[in-house]
Structure 1
Amino acid sequence: MPAHQTKTLPVAGATLHYEIWGSGPLIVIIPGGPQDAGVFAGLADQLSDRYTVLSFDPRGNSRTMTDTQPGDLDVDVIADDVAALIAANGGGPAFIFGTSGGAQIGLNLAARYPTKVSVLIAHEPPSMMLLADPEPALAGDRALHETYRRDGVEAAMGQFLAENGLDGTPDCDMPPKVAETFGRIGGNFEYWFAHGMLPLSTYRPDVEALRNGAPRIVVAIGTGSVGQPIEAMSQAVADQLGIKSTAFPGDHMGFESDVDGFAAAMTYAFLEDRHD
């Protein structure tokens, strides 16, 4: 198998762009928010000596084409797309890694397609609806959406990064491939603020289904996210499922800032049952 392949998959209402690295048991990476498959190239390279790593551009983002103008993001539909990708690449069950909004989609997939999933790592899901009092977090997202509507994408991006303790400053010396990915992601923020952020944030995971008959779930929280709003939202998922959260390297973008450590943490989490 070539080290890296780019493919497409026709599904209902869209043609998905996806990428594959390496060979071995299948890992599917579900991007979060405005991300696409290219964001995970470094992580995939680290894992590709022992796994087949697949990631994709969700509807509304980058190179996936939809038959009509995409409307508000539908978590069920994106999870259906992931199930179709698994079916087209061996049928599963697959290891699943979802980050941020992609973790919300991973939780939906695990609840609705349990036989497609071997283990799910839900990395920092923004599951505000599982908080004891979600209203403050909801108010924050509504305010961010209003900033986008009133002042545009750049103002909303600045507000989002500041509120979540993230640094959005681009590296002026980034390699051409990384710069290309960075440019694509920048173009996805319009859709995410307009149609993706609120549906992903207000999605309530089906806790009952996830407790009964779902695959093993790892709720991963970055050591650099302690004290940030995402920590409480992610911990709420673990609490509702009755499991302990797992510390992962870095912050919300730990898969980029500490690729080696993150790949090692993923590998251990996927194979945890073998260590018991």
Structure 2
Amino acid sequence: MSRTQSGVIARTLEVPDANLYYELRGAGPLIVLVGAPMDAESFAPAADLLATDHTVLTTDPRGHRNSTLDNPHQDSTPELRADDLARLITRVDSGPAVVFGSSGGAVTALALAQSHPDTVSTVIAHEPPINALIADRDTHRAATEDLVATYAAGDVLGAWRKFFTTANIPMPEPVLVQMFGPDREPQQLADERYWFAHEIRGTTTWEPDIVALRDIPARLVIGIGADSAGQFCDRTSRALAAAIEVTPTRFPGGHTGFLDDPATFVIRLREILDIP
């Protein structure tokens, strides 16, 4: 299925266990922008800016928004999401691609580099939240189990408070209530439930293959937000960069810099990719 709206081509791709929604903009070399749980809409402003001289692919990750699962209780793992991306890149037939992944999407991008290295030319992993390489990994995993259990027990705001505490991201209570209170769209609530129940564990506990990441022919960039100092993803990104022996690359903003100020973020992304 496909439809075109305002220069955006929206399509779906059926895979063995899911139906994947993706969007294409522009023309030229392929850049993929991906998150988890962040969906295609989250990357739309940045995608529009890049589409002036590139084909830009964005997607709803499996289990979220328009990417539906045959089994809605199936867990989302980085390996499954990497397979999804490989299929999408192959379908678009414009690879190998530059892949920018943020947060859980950064973990997806790393898994893609490991399992499908032929599909990528450059992988930018922006703040991957993997705890495998930090000294207090067991403490973090216990905290994740606690916040998942808190959410499952029905304390939504309590779970989000624990999440931001674990991530070491300041979140004022009025903002938290505004963002995660009960008066939200049903789709947003459904995506949230899926993320807590079926995605956050597999993403944060993913074990990177350090030897494979060191040896991939593609360029590998580990990105960290300039405003993320001391946060969980700052620590995990620095640990990964040290393990694969690359220098972290600074991006403007914090964990969601691509969304908060897409124009400034894309300027930096173009610099890193040496795109005029």
Q: TM-score, normalised by structure 1?
A: 0.88
Matched, 1:8 2:16: no
| 3-state DSSP of counterpart to 2:106 | helix
The alpha-carbon deviation at position 241 of structure 1 amounts to 0.6
The alpha-carbon deviation at position 67 of structure 1 amounts to 1.8
Unmatched tracts of structure 1, length 5 or more: 173-180
The alpha-carbon deviation at position 162 of structure 1 amounts to 4.5
1:261 matched to which residue of 2? 264
Deviations 1:1-49 (A, max 9, x none): 97211111111111101111212111111212x2211111111111111
Query: How many Å separate the matches in 1 of 2:185 and 2:161?
Result: 16
Deviations 1:121-174 (A, max 9, x none): 10000121011341222122122112112233333123323543255949x9xx
Contact 1:59 1:70 in 2 (8 A): no
1:126 matched to which residue of 2? 129
2:29 matched to which residue of 1? 25
| 3-state DSSP of counterpart to 2:132 | helix
| Residue correspondence of structure 1 range 1-276 to structure 2 within 5 A | 3-32=7-36, 34-164=37-167, 165=169, 167=171, 169=175, 184-271=187-274
Query: How many Å separate the matches in 2 of 1:230 and 1:53?
Result: 26
Contact 2:113 2:216 in 1 (8 A): no
Contact 2:140 2:166 in 1 (8 A): no
Deviations 1:217-276 (A, max 9, x none): 11000011101111101111101110000110111110111211111111122238x9xx
Cα gap change, 1:250 to 1:182, in 2 (>3 Å): farther
Q: In percent, how many aligned pairs have the same letter? A: 37
Contact 1:131 1:236 in 2 (8 A): yes
Cα gap change, 1:27 to 1:183, in 2 (>3 Å): farther
CA root-mean-square deviation: 2.3
Higher relative contact order (CA 8 A, sep 6+): 1
Contact 1:91 1:116 in 2 (8 A): no
Cα gap change, 1:184 to 1:161, in 2 (>3 Å): farther
The alpha-carbon deviation at position 206 of structure 1 amounts to 1.2
After superposing on structure 2, the runs of 4+ consecutive aligned residues of structure 1 that deviate more than 6 Å are: none
Q: TM-score, normalised by structure 2?
A: 0.88
Query: How many Å separate the matches in 2 of 1:215 and 1:153?
Result: 40
